[in-house]
Structure 1
Amino acid sequence: MWTPGRMSNAKSWLGLGMSLYFWGLMDLTTTVLSGTPTPPGKLEALLPDKPQSHLRIKRSWVWNQFFVLEEYTGTDPLYVGKLHSDMDRGDGSIKYILSGEGAGVVFTIDDTTGDIHAIQRLDREERAQYTLRAQALDRRTGRPMEPESEFIIKIQDINDNEPKFLDGPYVATVPEMSPVGTSVIQVTATDADDPTYGNSARVVYSILQGQPYFSVDSKTGVIRTALMNMDREAKEYYEVIIQAKDMGGQLGGLAGTTTVNITLSDVNDNPPRFPQKHYQMSVLESAPVSSTVGRVFAKDLDEGINAEMKYTIVDGDGADAFDINTDPNFQVGIITVKKPLSFESKKSYTLKVEGANPHLEMRFLNLGPFQDTTTVHISVEDVDEPPIFEPGFYFVEVPEDVAIGTTIQIISAKDPDVTNNSIRYSIDRSSDPGRFFYVDITTGALMTARPLDREEFSWHNITVLAMEMNNPSQVGSVSVTIKVLDVNDNAPEFPRFYEAFVCENAKAGQLIQTVSAVDQDDPHNGQHFHYSLAPEAANNPNFTVRDNQDNTARILTRRSGFGQQEQSVFYLPILIADSGQPVLSSTGTLTIQVCSCDDDGQVLSCSPEAYMLPVSLSRGALIAILACIFVLLVHIFKTKGIKQHSTQKWTDTKAI
């Protein structure tokens, strides 16, 4: 309906006025008196089928809007409202035309009465409003009686959509033993209905399944724990069903549900327990170190890091013979051999093993100690073992002049088994290819079989075998290292042939040679040689020997003046003696040639028949010789020149 107070708004909408029609649901608070005149030249939007007198209109209505309820299911077209021009006299001369969104498809208008109907089912969630245009034409001439006006038809919401959980189903985790009220997860339901109109979209949450373990906040959808001390080991998985209902949860509201799968995560609230308080195990005495004896297992109802275990040996007489390690994959304790075992020495052991959680939670310590113990009995089983030598290594020193067949060591072995079988001894011949030794088959006496020579082999490393008489496959072995000790059985001698010379003009006491000696022996205190003339040359008038007391000796002339023509070579026998017991000695000969020398002692010739210049001359001798040659050449050339001059002069005279 049009009123004077809305004149300014009417101008902007080109004279199209519209009423709000709520099918009896409007809050009518204002009375419009009948007989109110309609301004000329305006289209009027009238409420359907309502008299113009005593009509009450909602204060907040928008004058250019129609409202129509969605989801109409009747068979007849749904009446929306009426358009009316004040120029319409009811004689059918005015024709109403509708255009815009949905015109002719969704909405139709009676071109005579101006009644608007919806001819399709409307869904607000699909489309909330339509914008249309209306015009009044002169039916006869087609001339517009009113300017075209625009108006809106809004689809009025009804509660036709239930709440939906778009993110469901949900998966959540909460630690076991959590306090009551611990937040688990928040679920959210959405309602496609209009949240601004009524309670159609106001959602209230409730729990249909999952009590008394969990609760849900009716407004926020936050799920919380509702029961104390929920134990994962008793029940781990929970299926909770949450309902969301619109209309604020009132009767007649629509509802939707979702599933929340809640898992209790583990905390360390269970101590480990050994299912057996006693374990019985056995191991062969021949088991190598680090080999496995057996396994123990402490069961823990927790999982993951909370079920991790650490095993230790806390008591027992086998703590030094066995060890225990934790298998991190299966959380079992693996008992292993720590040192060699012997059935004959100890036949059984007892271990007290503890299994404990290394990762503890302080709030659960009151549940008891998080460790448990068990007793392990280990029996050592006998095996047939090879003979054992005592000691396990032999070192023998023997002089090299020991007589053949001398016992140098008693080798001893025994059967470690209770049966104590008889032993037979032998030498591994690959360790003694020269067969210098042999061993008595029954007594184990190790003896020499050949003469020993330290200067040839100073060390021998042989392997002695011990075999059980009743079981030849059981063979033990031991290494015997033999050091051959030196005895003084080699005389000292010159290391090479010594040859010296003496000048004819040598003086008495002149050094002509220094000699040294070698000895194949190796005395403990080192070599000490003594030099002297051999007995047959003790009174030699030509040369003498001076011992330097440092294992060398000097050969000196005893007189002056030697002549090649008299004696060109001397042979001087020198006696060399060691300091061993007994003293051994040898005679070495020094060959001495008599040579002619210059004034500086340089040898010119060592043979009386030699006419050639000596190989080695002094610088003065060479200069003298070269000077003589030079003088001789000058003399020759000078004589030759004189002869040529005389001949030429004689020839010239003859020519004259």
Structure 2
Amino acid sequence: MVPAAPRLVLGLLVLSLCCEACKKVTFRVPSELEADTLVGRVDLKECLPSAEFISSTDGNFKILEDGSVYTTSTLSLSAERKNFTILLNDIQEHVQKKIHVSLVKEEKKTQAERTRHARDTVLKRTKRRWGPIPSVMIENSLGPFPLQIQQVQSDTAQNYTIYYSASGPGIDQDPKGLFYIERETGNIFATRAVDREQYPSFQIICFATTPDGYSPEVPLVHTIRIEDDNDNAPYFTQDLFEFSVPENSKPGIIVGKVTAEDKDEPYTLHTALKYRIVSQNPPIPPVFSLHGDTGVISVASPQLDREVESGYLLLIEARDMAGQPFGLCTTGTVTVRIEDTNDNAPSFRQTQYEVRVEENRVNVEILRIAVVDLDEPRSPASRAVFEIIRGNDDRSFEITTDRNTNEGVLCVVKGLDYETAKQRVLVIAVNNEAPYMLAPHSQQVSQSTSSVTVYVIDVDEGPVFKPCLLRIDVKECEDIGTSIGRYVAEDPETGNSEGICYRIAPGQCNWISIDEKSGEVRTIRVLDRDVAEMRQGQCNITVLAIDRNGKTGTGTIQVVIQPGNKNYPRILKTDYVMCRDRKPICLTAQDGDASPYSTPFVYRITDRNLASSWKITRHNDNSVYLSPKGDIPFGIYDIPVSVTDNGGKVGETHVKVNYCDCMTPTECSGNTRELREGSVTLGIWAILAMILGSLLLLLILITICGCCGTGVMHRHVTDDCANHNLIISNTEAPGEEVMDHNIIPLQTTTDQGGYGIKTGDQQTFESVKGRGHTLESVKGGGHQTLGSVKEGGGQTMMDTCRYSYSEWHNFTHPRLGEKVHLCRQDEEQKHSEDYLLSYHYEGKGSLAGSVGCCSDQHEEEALDFLDQLEPKFRTLAEACVKR
């Protein structure tokens, strides 16, 4: 009865309490208090009538709901006064109130008090008979009232004058006044009958006190149990139970479950229910059973046929006392709906029909077919599905279902031809959307069919093209007026083409024409696949056929233009430069035609003289290599080359090849020498350019000679040599001696008539140029010159310093290559840093590229000349490479 401390704390936390102190209470008690000793009683309702939680701030005391204060353990009062507080809490009203209690130790005792203390000493917490068994009161008892139901008695009545009292539900709480206790005897009486379903039991608190208010006993919690009386009949949980079950269900199939309840005491005979079927409508035959204990309804007979009975009404009963006749009972209603299954096959009302329809009519309804089905209307078991099972191979007919009338609607979807068939016989079958289910104890029925005879009515028709689409394949570029085919129509009635004229419908492409009487098709333009009107090389032309009666029929000619050989092959690039390495030239031709009139191409040189010195080598289907057969002079060659495609069409192209004394083709882009048929010829512009070049060269030489004075004459390079950059090489010691019969030592002289002599580190160049002579390198004390080779009597042949590009190239490149090779690597074969950094620009550009020691750009092109050295220079190069 005392609330737990945590519960009190929780109540204090959740409330915003308004604490008020009520009247202070003082009790005089002995200095020694036993456990469960009544200290006194406090009027709690005077302080807070709606207290929900009652607690004490001192754990040695407990507070009962009636305000009784008891000790919880043996307590000795050492001080004169002991204080604690009773806390009252109303959670809903957010109110907390306090009652301060003071315990004052007794100092002087009266005789009665000493006697009581002596008795208390004798009665030290011995077992007492202060707990009778729970009282039982019959529900709905008829009295007489007041009716004694129990007596409580304290063992302390042997030593004290004991007065009994009680509180709790039924006494001072609702239902108030139902029970009361006699003060002197402890007899408990009931004043009226009790409904167990409303009050199954009562718990009251009984008190035993002496006349002076002392309580020798702890308050007794006494239970009064109300014994159940079968005063409530069972009742069904639903006013109407509705179930459904498919027809033809097998016995034992569960239909549903009914439930009833009883308010009497559970697990007694008063609530032990039994179910049964009271009646069935229609009554014959009984088709359902009801389980008495569970209320489960199941099928009892296989004769559920929706077409006979679509539903049943059951009256059921629930009785308590395990179904005994004296038990209370109630009745309920159950409806069972029989669901339809497709156990009835549809059938035609008629087995034969006849109908007429005009030929060539399309999408027209010609017949409606009715069926009979006993299954539930508008359900999948009765909705008809029609099918034409015979006579509709060409798909000229179609049958559908009208959802509103469940009839089959027969239509013509393709025009019928009277000349082909004057009548058609159709066989139509019918089924349901739901699959057919055979009913028990019934025989399988065959599928219902009906035949429909369709008579075709003849009408006057226009001509008909056969076929309606004629494909004509035409080669591209056919001559105008070429006959490419014939397209005629027939009269369906006569089966011939007499009296029919042909025309091309307006708005067609104006490429072909058709003969008005014969239907012969001819070209009126050159057919071309590449024009805009063509779609993938074809176009469709509509043709009209008109008979004598003005009836018109249409057909389509599909003209497909096959690829033709209308383009001749031609070589794409015609200008080439060939250097002295005579690398073959790749010629590639192009043909606008498609296969098979394009590749492979056949190349041929049409000029016999040039064919003897030039040859063609096959590369692939559309390209070849052009190269000279042997040694030929430098110059420009105009070579006529014919190309024949796979269709035999020939195209001729003149290929101009500039065979030039060069290392790269860019060096000969301005060369004007031209050779035709093996002889050298100079054009007017070429001669004029040579004259102007010679005059310009002479002017430069005069200027240079004037600048040099009377000292040693220094040979300078002409414009042909100006494409190179001169490298200043400060040689401080002679190189290794090279002994070779092709190497002529340098002639050293000091007179002014000598050529090619220069002291110090300056480099000079001399050359003697003539037919049959070669340039040689002379190596002397730190000087390198272009030496001359003596003719005949050993005299030195002098030239006017007209060096060609090849002469300059042949002289400088071996030395530059050697220099680059030597300075390119150090002792560990690693690239070294450039130390030749002084470059002088003396022309419009250097074809040799960079000569820096560590320059890698164009390295391969700069060394290609080593593969074309003449014998003497090859020997010189090999000697110079030696270390």
Task: Give the TM interval when normalised to the shorter protein.
Answer: 0.5 to 0.7
Q: 1:639 to 1:84 in 2, by over 3 A?
A: closer
Is the contact made by 2:129 and 2:155 (CA closer than 8 Å) also made in structure 1? no
Is the contact made by 1:44 and 1:84 (CA closer than 8 Å) also made in structure 2? no
2:607 — aligned with what? 554
1:175 — aligned with what? 246
1:132 — aligned with what? 204
TM-superposed deviation, 1:118: 2.8
2:135 — aligned with what? 66
Matched, 1:430 2:515: no
Matched, 1:155 2:226: yes
Is the contact made by 1:182 and 1:224 (CA closer than 8 Å) also made in structure 2? yes
TM-superposed deviation, 1:244: 0.4
Is the contact made by 1:232 and 1:264 (CA closer than 8 Å) also made in structure 2? yes
1:206 — aligned with what? 276
Q: 1:603 to 1:258 in 2, by over 3 A?
A: farther
Q: 1:475 to 1:631 in 2, by over 3 A?
A: closer
Which aligned pairs between 1:95-244 and structure 2 lie closer than 5 A?
A: 96-104=164-172, 105=176, 106-111=178-183, 116-135=188-207, 149-166=220-237, 169-195=240-266, 199-210=269-280, 211=283, 212-244=286-318
Is the contact made by 1:67 and 1:80 (CA closer than 8 Å) also made in structure 2? no
1:467 — aligned with what? 546
- Residues 259-301 of structure 1 show CA distances to partners (whole Å, capped at 9, x for unaligned) of 333233344432332344234555554355x987666565554
Matched, 1:347 2:400: no
2:465 — aligned with what? 389
- Residues 55-90 of structure 1 show CA distances to partners (whole Å, capped at 9, x for unaligned) of xxxxxxx9623332223578x74413363869999x
- Residues 305-329 of structure 1 show CA distances to partners (whole Å, capped at 9, x for unaligned) of 65687654333x4444446577798
% identical equivalent positions: 26
TM-superposed deviation, 1:605: 1.9
1:505 — aligned with what? none
* Cα distance in 2, alignment partners of residues 410 and 599 from structure 1: 58
Matched, 1:371 2:447: yes
- Residues 85-114 of structure 1 show CA distances to partners (whole Å, capped at 9, x for unaligned) of 69999xxx9754333331141212454676
What is the root-mean-square deviation in Å for CA atoms of aligned residues? 5.9
Question: Structure 2 unaligned runs (5+)?
Answer: 1-126, 532-536, 572-596, 611-671, 713-883
Match of 2:273, as an amino acid? V
Is the contact made by 1:415 and 1:422 (CA closer than 8 Å) also made in structure 2? no
- Residues 407-434 of structure 1 show CA distances to partners (whole Å, capped at 9, x for unaligned) of 9987644443699997554443533648
Q: 1:258 to 1:382 in 2, by over 3 A?
A: farther
Matched, 1:79 2:147: yes
Q: 1:63 to 1:320 in 2, by over 3 A?
A: same
Is the contact made by 1:269 and 1:364 (CA closer than 8 Å) also made in structure 2? no
TM-superposed deviation, 1:607: 5.2
Q: Which has the higher contact order (CA 8 A, sep 6+)?
A: 1
* Cα distance in 2, alignment partners of residues 277 and 305 from structure 1: 23
SS in 2 for 1:231: coil
Match of 2:445, as an amino acid? P
Match of 1:159, as an amino acid? N
Q: 1:242 to 1:596 in 2, by over 3 A?
A: closer
- Residues 608-627 of structure 1 show CA distances to partners (whole Å, capped at 9, x for unaligned) of 99644399xxxxxx9xx799
Is the contact made by 1:306 and 1:359 (CA closer than 8 Å) also made in structure 2? yes
- Residues 521-571 of structure 1 show CA distances to partners (whole Å, capped at 9, x for unaligned) of xxxx99xxxxxxxxxxxxxxxxxxxxxx999853669xxxxxxxxxxxxxx
* Cα distance in 2, alignment partners of residues 311 and 480 from structure 1: 41
- Residues 3-54 of structure 1 show CA distances to partners (whole Å, capped at 9, x for unaligned) of xxxxxxxxxxxxxxxxxxxxxxxxxxxxxxxxxxxxxxx9999xxxxxxxxx
Is the contact made by 2:154 and 2:217 (CA closer than 8 Å) also made in structure 1? no
TM, length-normalised to structure 2: 0.42
Q: 1:480 to 1:150 in 2, by over 3 A?
A: closer
Deviates more, 1:632-641 or 1:337-346: 632-641
TM-superposed deviation, 1:175: 2.9
2:5 — aligned with what? none
SS in 1 for 2:224: strand
- How many residues get paired? 470
Which aligned pairs between 1:391-540 and structure 2 lie closer than 5 A?
A: 392=468, 393=470, 412-416=488-492, 423=500, 425-431=502-508, 433=510, 437=513, 439-440=515-516, 443=517, 463-467=542-546, 470=549, 474-479=552-557
* Cα distance in 1, alignment partners of residues 541 and 337 from structure 2: 74
- Residues 568-605 of structure 1 show CA distances to partners (whole Å, capped at 9, x for unaligned) of xxxxxxxxxxxxxxxxxxxxxxxxxxx99789947442
Match of 1:353, as an amino acid? I
* Cα distance in 1, alignment partners of residues 521 and 302 from structure 2: 89
Question: Structure 1 unaligned runs (5+)?
Answer: 1-41, 46-61, 487-492, 497-524, 527-548, 558-594, 616-621, 644-656
* Cα distance in 1, alignment partners of residues 350 and 291 from structure 2: 49
Is the contact made by 1:184 and 1:224 (CA closer than 8 Å) also made in structure 2? yes
- Residues 472-503 of structure 1 show CA distances to partners (whole Å, capped at 9, x for unaligned) of 7x45345386999x9xxxxxx9x99xxxxxxx
* Cα distance in 2, alignment partners of residues 596 and 353 from structure 1: 97
Match of 1:64, as an amino acid? I
Q: 1:298 to 1:324 in 2, by over 3 A?
A: farther
- Residues 367-414 of structure 1 show CA distances to partners (whole Å, capped at 9, x for unaligned) of 3136322223334455664332345448599998899xx999876444
SS in 1 for 2:265: coil
Which aligned pairs between 1:192-341 and structure 2 lie closer than 5 A?
A: 192-195=263-266, 199-210=269-280, 211=283, 212-280=286-354, 285-287=359-361, 300-302=373-375, 311-315=386-390, 317-322=391-396, 340-341=415-416
Q: 1:384 to 1:242 in 2, by over 3 A?
A: farther
- Residues 114-133 of structure 1 show CA distances to partners (whole Å, capped at 9, x for unaligned) of 65443354111122221234
SS in 2 for 1:430: coil
Q: 1:467 to 1:78 in 2, by over 3 A?
A: farther
Match of 2:179, as an amino acid? F
Is the contact made by 1:207 and 1:240 (CA closer than 8 Å) also made in structure 2? yes
TM, length-normalised to structure 1: 0.55
Is the contact made by 2:341 and 2:375 (CA closer than 8 Å) also made in structure 1? yes
* Cα distance in 1, alignment partners of residues 195 and 278 from structure 2: 31
Match of 2:292, as an amino acid? S
1:564 — aligned with what? none
* Cα distance in 2, alignment partners of residues 259 and 400 from structure 1: 96
* Cα distance in 2, alignment partners of residues 444 and 600 from structure 1: 63
Match of 1:80, as an amino acid? Q
Is the contact made by 1:65 and 1:153 (CA closer than 8 Å) also made in structure 2? yes
Is the contact made by 2:465 and 2:553 (CA closer than 8 Å) also made in structure 1? no
Match of 2:307, as an amino acid? E
Q: 1:470 to 1:148 in 2, by over 3 A?
A: same
Q: 1:163 to 1:279 in 2, by over 3 A?
A: farther
Q: 1:186 to 1:276 in 2, by over 3 A?
A: same
* Cα distance in 2, alignment partners of residues 396 and 112 from structure 1: 135
SS in 1 for 2:271: coil
SS in 1 for 2:507: helix
SS in 2 for 1:200: helix
SS in 1 for 2:322: helix
Is the contact made by 1:195 and 1:201 (CA closer than 8 Å) also made in structure 2? yes
Is the contact made by 1:464 and 1:480 (CA closer than 8 Å) also made in structure 2? no
Matched, 1:613 2:690: yes
TM-superposed deviation, 1:438: 6.8
SS in 2 for 1:613: helix
